Chain A
Amino acid sequence: MLDTSNRTEEIMKSVAIIGGGVAGMEAAARLSKCGHAVTIIERNEQLGGRLNQWHALFPARKPALPLLMSLKQGISDGVNVIINAHITGIEKNEDGFAIMLNKNRVVTANTLLLTTGFDIFEAERKEEYGYGIYDNVITSVDLEQVFRSGKPIQTAGGKTPKRIGFVHCVGSRDEKAGNLHCSKVCCVTAVKQAIEVKEMLPSSEVFLYYMDLRMFGRHFEELYKEAQFKHSIQFIRARLSEAFENPDGSLQIRIEDTLLAKPLKMSLDMLVLMVGIQPPKKAGNILDMLKLERDTDGFVLQEDQYVSPFKTKIPGLYCAGGVTGPKTIEETLTEARAVAAEISEYLGRRRINYAGQEQYVMEL
């Protein structure tokens, strides 16, 4: 239908983004550049999400901070940011969405993008690995904090660890832990962190206990080879059943060395658990408010994995990033750019005619 009768000015179309992490910030920057009014709604005090937890990023081991700065730069001009926001309700109406926040605030928007991210597996739940029980068992997230702090790596007793082990797939590929899926990023993170440990403590021995090494991404295999060749990091194909603490605070582990088909025991000074990515629980109530369906793995169900991966059943509601499954930062950024293009296209269709200009006004 050709419509020339409506002689109003173009009105700015609005997007609300829930979750100011990597996906949310990148999508916000792109949408803002396209001329849309963008509001980021962030639960925490600061933007950046998980990126705030990382010191250096795989595979090139670039520091995380410059990326964070560039994402912040991208939204510095014109994007409205609400921090410390708690969503109390979301309504869908004719124009789009009304998002109710604490302090009686309401954000209205024509489209809503969910970039609420993922949760990290709580290592305490694998009690047999001793996190929270043995002092020298830490998680990959804890280790990243040590790197960020610039402090030396030390055991709980203040000693320099001589032997450090990394356990892959903690809370991933483990149906008893409630997660059948592979978290995708922890294999390469383990290799990255092992190299970083070796660089800080060259005389230490570092072991990785893996079920499969999933070095799927570009330059990941090179990183693996570098770990082997440059740093003599040892890869033992095994899955830890249990860790024990020795009286001196060091650890004893027993694994099946599946390549030799023999049980193997060894002592370690420190054990790092590669905690996995799991479907959001904290942000779960937002998903519930919107009655979003979950996929079999607990992440948000995409309308179609290939054709419309960002769409949901609700028109105008999009999802991107970790909310639809484990993703690398690279993949998350790509998704953010793609979803921004898709939202722009969707909003473009709703454009009301310029006076005198002929434009199609399409049905929603």
Chain B
Amino acid sequence: MINFGYKIQADRQVDYDAGNHRIFDFVRKSEPSIDWCMSCGTCASACTASASTEYSLCRLILNARRGMEDEILKSVYRCRFCGKCINACPRGVNTRNIVYLMQLAVTKISKHEI
């Protein structure tokens, strides 16, 4: 391909209508505490994975809410399941289980189960 010296920027916009909310719905079904999340970010600030990578559980939950599956795939496997976030969360969200269920949802999607 001829290089014209510029590239097309990927669309950063969240298109809520076009989003797929199946990961969020799957998680919520077995872990309703996801609805307690108020996006305070305490989990992310306590998280060892967040310190060294782009990973943030707070944002992961938001991306799931917005139906941004690509964004979830980018970081959902960074979690080490250490559980620090559970202690940190002021709302008692069962954070680690949420990441686990998100990974499970991704597996199920790849198997066309959801």
Contact = CB atoms under 8 A, between A and B. Distances in A.
Interface stretch (A91-99, A264-272, A280-288, A308-316): A264-272
A235 B15 CA distance: 16
Contact of B13 (A224, A229, A235, A262): A262
B112 interface: no
A232 interface: yes
Contact of B38 (A228, A232, A257, A267): A228
B13 A260 contact: no
Contact of B14 (A228, A232, A262): A262
B66 A257 contact: yes
Interface in B9-62: 12-17, 28, 32, 35-39, 58-59, 62
A228 B12 contact: no
Contact of A265 (B16, B58, B62): B16
Interface in B98-112: none
A265 B13 contact: yes
B36 A263 contact: no
A2 interface: no
B63 interface: yes
B12 A263 contact: yes
Contacts of B38: 224, 228, 235
A260 B59 contact: yes
A225 B33 CA distance: 11
Contacts of A228: 35-38
A262 B70 CA distance: 15
Contacts of A257: 14, 62, 66
B82 to A, nearest CB: 24
A237 B40 CA distance: 11
Given A264-B14, A264-B16, A266-B16, A259 B39 contact: yes
Contacts of B15: 264-266
Contact of A229 (B32, B58, B63, B66): B32
Nearest to B71: A260
Interface string A191-209: 0000000000000000000
A309 B59 CA distance: 45
Contacts, number: 49
B12 A262 contact: yes
Interface in A200-253: 224-225, 228-229, 232, 234-235, 237
B109 to A, nearest CB: 21
B31 to A, nearest CB: 12
B17 A260 contact: no
Contacts of A262: 12-14
B66 A260 contact: yes
B13 A234 contact: no
Most buried by B among A225, A257, A262, A265: A262
B9 to A, nearest CB: 13
Contacts of B13: 262-265
A266 B66 CA distance: 10
Nearest to A213: B38
A260 B65 CA distance: 11
Contacts of A260: 14, 59, 62-63, 66
Nearest to B63: A260
A266 to B, nearest CB: 4
Contacts of A264: 13-16, 66
Contacts of A232: 28, 35
Interface of A: 224-225, 228-229, 232, 234-235, 237, 257, 259-260, 262-267
27 contacts: A224-B38, A225-B36, A228-B35, A228-B38, A229-B35, A229-B36, A232-B35, A234-B65, A235-B38, A257-B66, A259-B39, A259-B58, A259-B59, A260-B62, A262-B12, A262-B13, A262-B14, A263-B13, A264-B14, A264-B16, A265-B13, A265-B14, A265-B15, A265-B17, A266-B15, A266-B16, A266-B17
| Pairs A-B, 9 closest by C-beta atoms | A266-B16, A264-B14, A263-B13, A229-B35, A228-B35, A259-B39, A262-B14, A262-B12, A260-B62
Given A257-B14, A264-B66, 12 more contacts: A225-B91, A228-B35, A232-B35, A235-B39, A257-B66, A259-B39, A260-B62, A262-B13, A264-B14, A265-B15, A266-B16, A266-B17
